[in-house]
Amino acid sequence: MPVHGRPSFTGVFHTSPDGYLFCEDLQVKTVQDEFAKASEYGSPFFMYSKRQIGDNVRSYVEALQRHDLPYILGYAVKANNNLTILRILRDLGCTAVLVSGNELKLAMLAGFSTDKLVFNGNGKTQWEIELAVTHDVMINADSLFDIDHISSVARQLGKKVKMLLRMNPDIDPEVHRYLATGSAVSKFGIPETDLDTALGKAGSDDNIDLVGLHCHIGSTITNIDVFRATVSAMLRYNNHVQGRGFRLKYLNVGGGLGINYRKYIQVCMCIPSGGELIDSIADKIKESGLCLILEPGRSIIASAGILVSKVIGIKRNETRSFLVIDGSMTEVMRPCLYGAYHHIQLIEPTSGTRRYSVVGPVCECGDYLAEDIELPIPHEGCGLAIRDAGAYCASMSSNYNMRVRTI
């Protein structure tokens, strides 16, 4: 097995023959040194590749166009809400998918056209609904009470709201239970038993234009068959809805495609690309005649970002060696929250190897980035990178312990 800190592949993030990590044409260590000169808060920081973002978006778009499918590619803002990244995605033809009123404000600031935005959420508040209805945003109704609340706001504003019903198809996405959003025990979506009641509410309300169905069954999904099963379930619902006299325009099948976080250590995981996901469902979507809405987040931005950190020091006890860095759970929460894996590598050359648990300075035993991994032996101040940190890292970061929030 290769050493954990020496990936043996090339790409947008690649290691030079002399042991330095590059992001596109920039040496990451040089950027780290420049930041250190400019500010006492120069480390840790997130670094992103515009080229990788474009490649990830094109994986979806090229497949959608190859199959000649009408589509809306809506980036899930919750994955990473960096304003510059949002503007890049807007220029690449994406729209945005939102889960809060403040995300809607940010999407408008980024210049997205509001009539293609999609607003999700199982607990939308009054002001958030008002903002969405005012700007003609499509809204996914998550429950019967959500339909009532949206209707009430639309009536007060004298507007007609474009609504999709978020269904819960009770499909197991085969992921961590915190990330499974389409199972019967999840807080999200309308169960099939409530579908006719929801249709009754929508059909009798002049302020509601029911334009589609929506579901999102989970995140970090690696089994492509799950997506095909989800589309089959949603098309069955669509047939029922059409039979009730509704003429829908959209089928929103959410996002949730995972990435191979372990590819650097040559673990064989055949995870589908965005294009392969589209290939697997295109025939069913085309047959339906509906416009496909997708909500990818992780698969667009995760591989495009790294957290650049540095070594504070090394300590040992009777059982293990701790590599203490200035990055922490306040920047990369996923290992602590989900037991998730992020590859860690040094960004500059060194020699020898040792096994370490990589931990941060936050006053929590859960503040670890990796446990018992093999790394080249670093010196104090040595730079390192936490890979695939583009999604659900900066957007979940915090000021806990009054640390400066890294965005």
Q: Decide: helix, strand or coil at residue 101.
A: helix
User: Mind giving me the DSSP string for 150-196?
Assistant: HHHHHHHHT-PEEEEEEEE-----SS-GGGB-SSTTSSSSEEGGGHH
Closest to 401 in 3D by CA, of 360, 363, 358? 363
Active-site residue (options: 268, 270, 363, 365): 363
Query: CB–CB of 220/258 below 8 Å?
Result: yes
Upstream peptide bond of 44 is cis (omega within 30 degrees of 0): yes
d(CA 195, CA 172): 20
- In the residue annotation, 363 being an active-site residue is answered as yes
Residue 313, classified by CB atoms within 10 Å of its CB into exposed (0-12), middle (13-18) or buried (19+), is exposed
d(CA 336, CA 112): 34
* Cα→Cα distances 309→89, 128, 376, Å: 26, 37, 15
Residues in CB range of 254: below 8 A, 6 or more apart: 214, 215, 216, 217, 230, 294, 295
Question: What is the layout of strands, in order, in the sheet containing 13-15?
Answer: 13-15, 21-23, 26-27
Query: CB–CB of 215/182 below 8 Å?
Result: yes
**What token pair was written down for 370?**
């990796």
d(CA 20, CA 276): 33
Query: CB–CB of 265/343 below 8 Å?
Result: yes
Strands (E), 2-102: 13-15, 21-23, 26-27, 45-48, 71-76, 95-98
d(CA 195, CA 238): 11
Number of other CB atoms surrounding residue 51 within 10 Å: 14
The residues that are catalytic are: 363
